[in-house]
A and B are shown apart, each in its own frame.
Chain A
Amino acid sequence: MLTFEPVIGLEVHAQLKTDTKIFCGCSTRFGAPPNTHTCPVCLGMPGVLPVLNRKVVEYALRMALATHCTVPGPSRFARKNYFYPDLPKGYQISQYELPIAVKGHVDIQVDGQERRIGLTRIHMEEDAGKLVHAPDRPISFVDLNRTGVPLIEIVSEPDMRSAEEAGAYLRILRSIIRWIDVGDGNMEEGSFRCDANVSIRPAGTTTLGTRTEVKNLNSFRHVEKALRHEIARQTEILLDGGTIVQETRLWDPDKNATVSMRGKEEAHDYRYFPDPDLLPIVIDDAWIQRVRSELPELPDERRARFVADYQLPGYDAAVLTASRELADYFEACLVLYDHPKTVSNWIMGPLLGLLNAQEKPIEQSPVSAADLADLLKRLGAGVISGKIAKTVFDEMAVSRRPAADIIEAQGLAQVSDSSALETAVDAVLAQSADEVTRYKAGQVKLMGFFVGQVMKATKGKANPGMVNAILKERLG
């Protein structure tokens, strides 16, 4: 049976977190009433001149360096000509022959395997406006607030071989964008969008098959689902002896299918030419060095350091560096309680469990790093047992009070006072004459029963090590 290998390349559009648009001073804030963030430049009035926002170049450069791209030399803007009401000028200002950055890569991990995905290019461009189609009348409503909002388009090499790899690549890109603070990567709000080029070929061959472009992938869940569907669709066609048509297909999440988008083919004749209104951009070494020196430690660097410096398993390091805020939280705990693996276990277990259940990011954690470290310090010092620590943690998450308050208020401190424990042990043994006899007759497994009874009597607060020692001495 012939098997096929999918070949996937992604084009990602990420909105940059500037205050103003790329070529004019209009606000980029999301959610304003329609057509209130416009001016003659972004409305495409005759006679106006665009002027490039310096911060857009700065942010694009930051992303380029964070993804190991090279900045090849002078860069310039081009006009991409097409008629559509979301762009009043009749062209989109984008970059074509001379993008700001080329030839980068990011590393993804799928099923424990690391793979390098190449980046072809990163370029800067303006976003288009938003169309709302009237459901009951043959008209569309146009809101030009988004027209001119700065984007970077990140084009990957066709290096991905499964929907899962495409998903992993997207998550890495999004985490880098957020990590270096150039965008918020919000797929649902449209500040992070993705189109996919998909083809399949017989496994083991190297010639690329005919590709389709899949659009409307507006959530991480949709991307992987749509790609799996498109791969299956193409496979079925080829197995039936058919041929793939090169076309643009739209993912329809309601129908759970990609559907052909007709009438687009002709529009692909964009007649790009250099935009005479905008001067070339020259980024010298000093600029590159400055941006490089201002970059924070990147996710993959930090992950490697967590493994090397804290002896954490690779899995822990990957989880803890999923976002910069989470990695910061972890290291803030370590400053106060320097036991990396314990801290990691408590973050990955109880804390992330709690946050996932509440659908909150780490920044909104009800338990601060200092409070978690303080709890673990008390656990480490034997003030409370592990079981009690979890109870205290759950209470901290609800009441937002520090561990010390809860331990004191509820009398949860572990009892390590030997006379108090001896009293508790003696009381248990006095009530369990039968078990004592059987224990002495050789049923040593009953030790567990005695320990359990003492823990029950002390509401879990007894120091288990000491209870064991006293019991052995008494029953010896």
Chain B
Amino acid sequence: MKITPEEVAHVAHLARLQIAPEAVGKICEQVATILAYVDTLGQVDTHDVPPTTHAIALTNAFRDDIPHAHLSREDALANAPSSEDGFFVVPKVI
């Protein structure tokens, strides 16, 4: 499978990764190799196999609608790079 530099740039942007321009060619090759390897799975006949999305055959794991204790606000904000007046602070987004 061929991966274009545009595809690499697009996926990198979606994941907010910064990739040096000189690395793009190498990444194209590497991703193509990975995808080709994963494509090996396509050789297995899965005609009668339902799609697997979960590793365990369980359904309906619920909890009751009962409140638990909250984190203290100090703890909630403790790892934030920036906070003010009880809020997390981030660069302006709109």
Q: Is B90 an interface residue (CB 8 A)?
A: yes
Q: Would A142 and B53 be within 8 Å (CB), given that A35-B73, A39-B68 are in contact?
A: no
Answer whether residue B23 sits at the interface, using C-beta atoms and an 8 A cutoff: no
Instruction: Report if A33 contacts B (CB, 8 A).
Output: yes
Is B86 touching A38 in the complex (CB atoms < 8 A)? Answer: no
Of all chain B residues, which has the CB nearest A53?
A: B65
Q: Using A20-B67, A36-B73 as known contacts, say yes or no to A83 and B91 having CB atoms under 8 A apart.
A: no
User: Could you tell me the distance between the alpha carbons of A134 and B87 in the complex, rounded to whole angstroms?
Assistant: 12
Question: B70 touching A279 by the CB < 8 A rule?
Answer: no
Q: Mark A5-44, 1 if CB is under 8 A from B, else 0.
A: 0000000000000111000111100000111111110010
- Chain B residue, CB-CB nearest to A134: B92
Q: What does the 1/0 interface line of B55-69 toward A look like (CB < 8 Å)? A: 110111111111110
Counting chain A residues whose Cβ lies within 8 A of the other chain, the interface size class is 35 or more
Closest CB of chain B to A264's CB: distance in Å? 11
B→A interface (CB under 8 Å): 10, 13-14, 16, 53-56, 58-68, 70-71, 73, 76-77, 82, 84-94
Min C-beta distance of B3 to chain A, whole Å:
16
A281 near B89 with CB under 8 A, answer no
Residue among A26, A35, A81, A274 making CB contact with B86, cutoff 8 Å: A35
Contact A54 B65 (CB under 8 A): yes
- Residues of chain B lying within 8 A (CB to CB) of residue A24: 68
CB-CB under 8 A for A53 and B63, given A26-B68, A142-B90, A269-B14? yes
A134–B82 Cα gap in the complex (Å)?
Answer: 14
Q: A142 with B68: in contact, given A52-B61, A133-B92 (CB under 8 Å)?
A: no
A140 cross-chain contacts in B, Cβ below 8 A: 89-94
* Nearest CB of A to B77, in Å: 6
CB pair B87–A143 under 8 Å, yes or no, is yes
Partner pick for A54 among B10, B64, B76, B88, CB 8 A cutoff: B64
Determine the main DSSP class of B at the interface with A.
Answer: loop
Residue among B53, B60, B94 making CB contact with A133, cutoff 8 Å:
B94
For B92, the chain A residues whose CB sits under 8 A away are 133-134, 137-140
Say if the beta carbon of A108 comes within 8 Å of chain B. no
Closest to A86 in B: B93
Tell me the interface secondary structure of chain A in the complex: loop
Please tell me if A266 contacts chain B, counting CB pairs below 8 Å. yes
- Sampled A-B contacts (20; CB under 8 Å): A20-B68, A25-B63, A25-B68, A34-B85, A36-B86, A40-B71, A53-B62, A53-B65, A54-B65, A57-B62, A85-B88, A85-B93, A133-B92, A139-B91, A140-B92, A143-B88, A266-B14, A276-B53, A278-B61, A279-B58
A34 touching B59 in the complex, CB below 8 Å, given contacts A25-B66, A26-B70, A138-B92: no
Q: Closest CB of chain A to B4's CB: distance in Å?
A: 16
Say whether A139 contacts B90, CB under 8 Å: yes
Q: How far is the CA of A389 from the CA of B85 in the complex (A)?
A: 58
A36–B54 alpha-carbon span in the complex (Å)? 33
Interface assignment of A427: CB less than 8 Å from any CB of chain B: no
**Shortest distance in angstroms between A52's beta carbon and chain B's nearest beta carbon?**
5
In the complex, whether A439 has a CB less than 8 A from a CB of chain B is: no
A74 at the A/B interface (Cβ < 8 Å)?
A: yes
Q: Give the chain A neighbours of B91 by CB distance below 8 A.
A: 138-140
* A39-77 Cβ-contact flags toward B at 8 Å (1 or 0): 110010000000111110100000000000000001010
Is B88's CB under 8 angstroms from A39's CB?
A: no
With A39-B68, A40-B71, A141-B85 known as contacts, the answer to whether A279 contacts B90 (CB < 8 A) is no
